[in-house]
Amino acid sequence: MIKKWEFYNADESLVDRICEKYNINKIIGRIIVNRNVVKDEDVRIFITPTRDDFHDPFLFKGMDIAVDRIIQAINNKEKILIYGDYDVDGITSTTVLKKYLLERGAIVDTYIPNRLTEGYGLNKPAIEKIKEKGTDLIITVDCGISAIEEIDYAIELGMDVIVTDHHEVGEKIPNSMAVIDAKRKDNTYPFQSLAGVGVVFKVIQAISIKLNLKAEEYLKYLDLVCVGTISDIVPLEGENRTIAKLGLMLIKVTRNLGLRELIKSSGYKEIDSNTISFGVAPRINACGRMGHEEEALKLFLAEDTESAVQITKELNEYNTLRQTTEKAIYEEAIQKIEENHLEDNNSIVLGGENWHHGVIGIVSSKVTEKYYKPSLLLSLEGDKAIGSGRSIQGFDLYEALTKCDDLIEKYGGHAMAVGLTIKKENFEKFKDRFEEVAKEKNIKELVPIIYIDEEVKLRDINMDLVKSLSILEPFGEANKVPLFLIKNLKIDSIRALSEGRHLKLSLRDENFVINAIGFEIGYLAEEYRIGDKIDVVGTLEINSFNGYSSIQINVKDIRKSY
């Protein structure tokens, strides 16, 4: 697929001012400006955030009501039930709030719905079970904003409900005591992109302020708040960056036994955003995806090392099973796409008999990445089709579903990712309608854009430069790993690895040589030859092997030099 290369258009006077004020090199300064961080205070927070950079939690609509009701429940020894979600954001949200409330002397229970039998969010049978436990107050975390009927039902049964969420808000908000969500239309909170666990963090911050507790009483949970924030792929800017940067520092000395064991078992030596995104998150998510959501919660609540080690072992086994299941569905999906030439459509909507809907979201993401089209994958089970979707920049998936809502039983999510349930009999109608909506947006004209931070010469790449990039950590949504363009490199060697999946190169510019690796672009080994001159866009990283460290390019795209 041809990709468009574009440079950011940084204001050089701003770059010079930032470099001088913060004593950083020009490349770092330019990347910061490329991230649209230009005001002095914003730059300071980007580089060295502190605990004083968190906003006042009482700027949230409804926060004062929520805090007073929670404190009342604690004082009166009422039964509180935290209703969470089965992904990393939901599990960390549930853990943080439960641990914090237990320390305040509250009576707390939790409920995580089973992804395979209950699906996302609140449901009436679960609410009935919760009522039978004698629950007085339900607090939702990372869910609830779209559960209008379910929350009404809980209120009818005599329970109070507080909603804390971060997902998009529909036409109506729940009729609960308080709704804490920065995406409310009447929002007054200055930052709208918190993860669900970020919203929980603001709740415990507010309770601590109200009770005149020391800041450490809520700040000590930043390790788990950081894990949930990075894992939920929210933009790592503003308050999220403060959470992530301070949280990563705390993770290095975490007292959470489960988190410590999970990181140890992941094999990652450095603790950074990569460790969380690729080491921790998949293992936690695998529990929910494979229908064992309670195990992830037990891990973070573990009070002894032996339990933490055993649960971590189980998580790794679930993750292996998840990988095997995902691979089988992906291969079947690609076969369906190519047999039916769906890559020629504006969208890709697929259904498969009893596809494991715990993993089809990941497969949808890979399909979207491969074909650069919004995709929806649905598991056909009985009279239902249950699925997930992923999108591309420029196409709002949630908005697209609103134009098909007469054919949908249930849906939720945001612009880039959704979950939905439809009747099996409506599958073909829905597929056609969704394609019409995608066609209106001229999807076929959209091409992936690679935004380049800086052009560098091979001779200027050294360990000091690569190590200096760490100041930009943590990387993630809205703060991608910097991309560099290096031109006129001669191919000294080129070959495909891992059954043709990946690309391995040795590249030269005069007397300067560097190794390069390109993941999932192994097919390019057939398009280029030794001696060809190429331009490369990629990230710069340090590759350590057998005690020896060298710089390599992680290639994202290649073109012939002209």
Return the bridge partners of 509, or none: 512
Closest to 316 measured CA to CA, from 342, 290, 336, 340: 290
Radius of gyration of the chain, Cα coordinates, nearest whole angstrom:
24
Share of the chain above pLDDT 70, in %: 100
Contacts of residue 275, defined as CB under 8 A and 6 or more positions apart, other chains included, come to 263, 266, 268
> Is there a cis peptide before residue 474, judged by omega within 30 degrees of 0?
yes
- Give a yes or no: residue 331 inside a domain: no
Q: Do 97 and 221 lie in a common domain?
A: yes
pTM of the model: 0.90
Q: Do 356 and 405 lie in a common domain?
A: yes
- Give a yes or no: residue 275 inside a domain: no
| Last residue within a domain, chosen from 392, 412, 445 | 445
- pLDDT band at residue 354 under the 50/70/90 scheme: confident
What one-letter code names the amino acid at 135? T
Encode pLDDT of 309-328 as tens digits: 999 999 999 999 999 999 99
pLDDT above 80 for 526: yes
Q: Is 436 helix (H, G, I), strand (E, B) or coil?
A: helix
Q: Do 209 and 186 lie in a common domain?
A: yes
Closest to 93 measured CA to CA, from 84, 106, 101, 102: 84
pLDDT above 90 for 333: yes
pLDDT above 90 for 233: no
- pLDDT band at residue 357 under the 50/70/90 scheme: confident
* φ, ψ at 291 (rounded to 5°): 85, 25
Mean pLDDT of 283-291: 92
Q: In terms of residue numbers, what domain contains 488? A: 4-9+450-560
Quick check: 185 and 131 in contact, CB under 8 A?
A: no
Q: Do 118 and 221 lie in a common domain?
A: yes
Q: Do 62 and 122 lie in a common domain?
A: yes
Encode pLDDT of 455-479 as tens digits: 999 999 999 999 999 999 999 999 9
| Last residue within a domain, chosen from 233, 260, 276 | 233
Q: Do 180 and 67 lie in a common domain?
A: yes
pLDDT above 80 for 154: yes
Count of alpha carbons within 13 angstroms of residue 39, beta-carbon side? 4
Encode pLDDT of 214-232 as tens digits: 999 999 999 999 999 999 9
Residue 306: CB atoms within 10 A of its CB come to: 9
What one-letter code names the amino acid at 194? L
pLDDT above 80 for 424: yes
- pLDDT band at residue 447 under the 50/70/90 scheme: confident
CATH (domain of 353): 3.10.310.30
Count of alpha carbons within 13 angstroms of residue 14, beta-carbon side? 15
CATH (domain of 478): 2.40.50.460
Mean pLDDT of 137-150: 96
Asked whether the CA dihedral 151, 413, 236, 367 is positive or negative, the reply is: positive
- Give a yes or no: residue 31 inside a domain: no
pLDDT of residue 49: 95
- pLDDT band at residue 339 under the 50/70/90 scheme: very high
- Give a yes or no: residue 299 inside a domain: no
pLDDT of residue 401: 96
Closest to 159 measured CA to CA, from 59, 69, 267, 64: 69
- Round to whole Å and give the CA distance between 260 and 266: 10
pLDDT above 80 for 1: no
CATH (domain of 126): 3.90.1640.30
pLDDT above 80 for 413: no
Encode pLDDT of 29-38 as tens digits: 999 999 999 9
- pLDDT band at residue 414 under the 50/70/90 scheme: confident
| Last residue within a domain, chosen from 233, 266, 301 | 233
pLDDT of residue 200: 98
Q: Do 490 and 553 lie in a common domain?
A: yes
In the numeric block, the tokens 């430069």 are attached to 465
pLDDT of residue 25: 93
Q: Do 428 and 462 lie in a common domain?
A: no
- Give a yes or no: residue 32 inside a domain: no
- Mean residue pLDDT of the chain comes to 94
- Give a yes or no: residue 42 inside a domain: no
- Count of structural domains within the chain: 3
Q: Do 440 and 455 lie in a common domain?
A: no
DSSP string, 275-317: IIIIIIHHHHHHHHHTT-HHHHHHHHH--SHHHHHHHHHHHHH
Mean pLDDT of 521-528: 93
- Give a yes or no: residue 314 inside a domain: no
pLDDT of residue 2: 84
Encode pLDDT of 377-406 as tens digits: 999 989 999 999 999 988 999 999 999 999
Counted residue by residue, the chain has a size of: 562
pLDDT of residue 467: 93
Q: Do 415 and 466 lie in a common domain?
A: no
Q: Do 475 and 357 lie in a common domain?
A: no
Instruction: Using CB atoms within 10 Å of the CB of residue 533, give its burial: 0 to 12 exposed, 13 to 18 middle, 19+ buried.
Output: middle
pLDDT of residue 117: 86
Q: Do 496 and 432 lie in a common domain?
A: no
Residue 431: CB atoms within 10 A of its CB come to: 22
Encode pLDDT of 46-63 as tens digits: 999 999 999 999 999 999
